[in-house]
Amino acid sequence: MGTSQANPATGVNPSDPSSPELSLPNGKAGGAISWHVVGNFRLFKNEIDVAYYQDLIKKAATINTDDLFADRSSIPDTYYDDNTGSYTVFNEGTGTYSDSENYVSPKRWRIALTYDAGGGGQCEWIIDGESKGSGSCKDFIVEVEGPKHEIAVRVAGGTQSVTQKIVIQDILVAAIGDSWMAGEGNPDVTHVGHIGLFTKRAAQWLGRNCHRSLYSWPVLSAIQLASNHPQASVTLLDYACTGATIDKGILGTHLGAKEEETFRSQPPIARFGSDTFGSEPEATDAIYLEQRKRSQIDKLKTDLQAGKGRRPDVVLVSIGGNDVGFVKIVVKTEILNEEPCSKDPNHPNQDGQFAEKLKRLTNDLDRVRQEIVKLAPDADVFLSTYPSPLRLNADQFCDDPTAHSSGKTREFGGLVDFFVKGITAEEAKCASEQIVTPLNEALRRFAKNHQGEKWRVIDTDGLKGHGYCAPNPQVQTGAWFNTLKDAHQRCGSMRGSMHPNLFGHLFYVEHAYPIINTAVTRRLTER
């Protein structure tokens, strides 16, 4: 390999740590001036909210989720507008959406400056030749417009100054997908009270019709990126929606989850059939209903146009599970006593039918790829596989044929127990090996076939355990998937059962973040 040369557009030499404009991942700008972007995960309006999720990632091993969720009574303020389904910055002073402060394509940042040799004294800070006055030599905060600046500093009363050039970069991450990406089963504010009876508080979500949660792995991964790249900002566009398929959700209309008001009005037996499998709610708000009709690709396209045609750097994709009926098969096996390996020719996972669905999935994934190429031709694309919720550990499958007696589903004083059949080890093994495994193999093949276009797979094969039947779902060593009881208690419905709980999403972060970060670091140094 030859010697790296400075980028002619920025003057940055990625292999030279002393390069004056190099934005280093460890937060050091070189010389005596250090700096970082304040609030560099741009989805949140308040830094204290970012700190909460950063702390959650750091302390995953010691978290008790019951205590964690009990502490949250409101959703943090973000730049996502659930009524319009868009991400933007609203200027409260003018009452308009400001292009100069557009969420998708940032023009302004706040940065914190520290002069290492200034001690605890006062320094005069000069940005691009303009004095910003005297202030602390440590963490002096100033707002700047544009990405490239020359910073000068001198200790108050002194004559010598130190100059440093900086470049602020923004990484745009887009996420499209289904319930496993959205964070289904992990509401931002948990349900309190019995379902339909004496409900004290309904579950609340960042994206209420999509059950999109800030506890999801795309959000947590983006926060981790921002934490480890303090001299860059991270902008997230997350459109994942529970129940989404390629035709209904990614590329076409999908209204999402059933509204809780409609759900609670139904008798328990009706909820099993409708709420679990994606019936679409009634809506009265015309704007809200209209945005719900738009596909995820269409919403991404609209937000990118608002951002002056900006292109995503990273695209996260989780799709295929609903297309082949994975979640329906698993949940119906537990609830409705259907055999996952039934020989019934009309059964959704009968051999010929399932094979045909996998074949169609490959073709449909290519349609998604073509749309991504149009909107993000140079993006690094990461396609996620699905871990099985039916493994107790690497060697054993869940053997839970009488789930009602185990207490894993108990709710309504035993009413739900009457309908829940449970899953045998044989059924769990069949569903895992004949449904999940072929699905993941198809996803891996697709990503491999398009690796020349920067497609990679986020492989979840490392999660062969921690299934829904594992003990202690409130702690990291226990279950990483929601049981029916978990879903009822946290969401007020059964929709989130068999989906990753918080620890399942933290597992995704553990496996997804390193390969995403490699791509992001490359981009930061090559620009």
Cβ atoms within 10 A of the Cβ of 448, count?
Answer: 12
Across the beta sheet with 140-145, what order do the strands follow? 33-38, 108-115, 140-145
How far apart are alpha carbons 139 and 450 in whole angstroms? 45
10 three-class SS: coil
Give the angle subtended at the CA of 224 by the CAs of 41 and 50, to the nearest 5°: 45
pLDDT under 70: residue ranges of the chain:
1-31, 89-101, 193-199, 258-292, 327-328, 330-352, 401-421
Query: Which pLDDT value is given to residue 520?
Result: 98
Q: Using only C-alpha atoms, what is the Rg of the chain?
A: 25
Tokens representing residue 223 in the block: 């926060």
pLDDT value at residue 66: 74
The pLDDT of residue 5: 44
pLDDT confidence of residue 27: 33
In the chain, DSSP finds a helix count (H) and a strand count (E) of 16, 18
- The residues near 217 (Cβ < 8 Å, ≥ 6 apart) are 181, 183, 500, 505, 506, 508, 509, 512
Q: What is the pLDDT of residue 23?
A: 32
Give the model's pLDDT for residue 346. 55
pLDDT at 280: 37
CA 480, 482, 483, 485: dihedral to nearest 10 degrees?
130
Question: What element of type H or E holds 154?
Answer: strand 148-155
* 434, burial (CB in 10 Å: exposed 0-12, middle 13-18, buried 19+): middle
Q: How far apart are CA 207 and CA 76, in angstroms?
A: 12
3-class SS of residue 516: helix
| pLDDT value of residue 257 | 73
| Cα torsion 103, 106, 107, 111: sign | positive
Sheet holding 148-155, edge to edge: 130-136, 122-127, 148-155, 162-167
DSSP class of residue 73?
A: -
Structure confidence by residue, pLDDT tens digits, 157-177: 777 889 999 999 999 999 999
Cα 329 from Cα 326, distance rounded (Å): 5
b/e per residue 243-256 (b: at least 16 CB within 10 A): bbbbebbbbbebbb
Q: What is the pLDDT of residue 265?
A: 39
Strand partners, 197: 194
Contacts by 332-338 with C-beta closer than 8 Å and gap 24+?
333/421, 333/423, 333/427, 333/431, 334/403, 334/420, 334/421, 334/422, 334/423, 334/484, 334/497, 334/498, 335/272, 335/276, 335/419, 335/420, 335/421, 335/484, 336/272, 336/421, 337/421
pTM for this one? 0.85
Residue 360 to residue 365: CA distance in whole angstroms:
8
pLDDT, residue 431, reads: 83
Are the C-beta atoms of 403 and 421 separated by less than 8 Å?
yes
Distance CA 147, CA 361 (A): 42
Distances (CA, A) of 264 to 260, 271, 275, 494: 6, 8, 10, 12
- C-beta of residue 91 within 8 angstroms of C-beta of residue 97: yes
CB 469 within 8 A of CB 360: no
Q: What is the pLDDT of residue 17?
A: 38
For residues 499 and 265, what is the distance between their CA atoms, to the nearest angstrom?
A: 24
SS3 content of the chain, % helix, strand, coil (to 5): 35, 20, 45
Give the pLDDT score at 402.
58
pLDDT of residue 344: 56
Model pLDDT, residue 469: 87
If DSSP states are collapsed to H, E and C, what string results for 400-433?
A: ECCHHHHCCCCCHHHHHHHHCCCECHHHHHHHHH
Query: How many Cβ atoms are within 10 Å of 327's Cβ, its own excluded?
Result: 25
List Cα–Cα distances, 347 to 351, 435, 446, in angstroms: 9, 13, 26
Model pLDDT, residue 350 = 53
Nearest to 234 by CA among 501, 517, 526: 517
Q: For residue 387, give every residue at least 6 positions away whose Cβ sits within 8 Å of its Cβ, in sequence order, or none.
A: 436, 460, 461, 463, 464, 500, 504, 507
CB-based contacts of 366: which residues, under 8 Å, 6+ apart? 446
Q: Is 428 exposed, middle or buried (0-12, 13-18, 19+ CB in 10 A)?
A: buried
Output the pLDDT for position 87.
85
Closest among 76, 66, 173 to 503, alpha carbons compared: 66
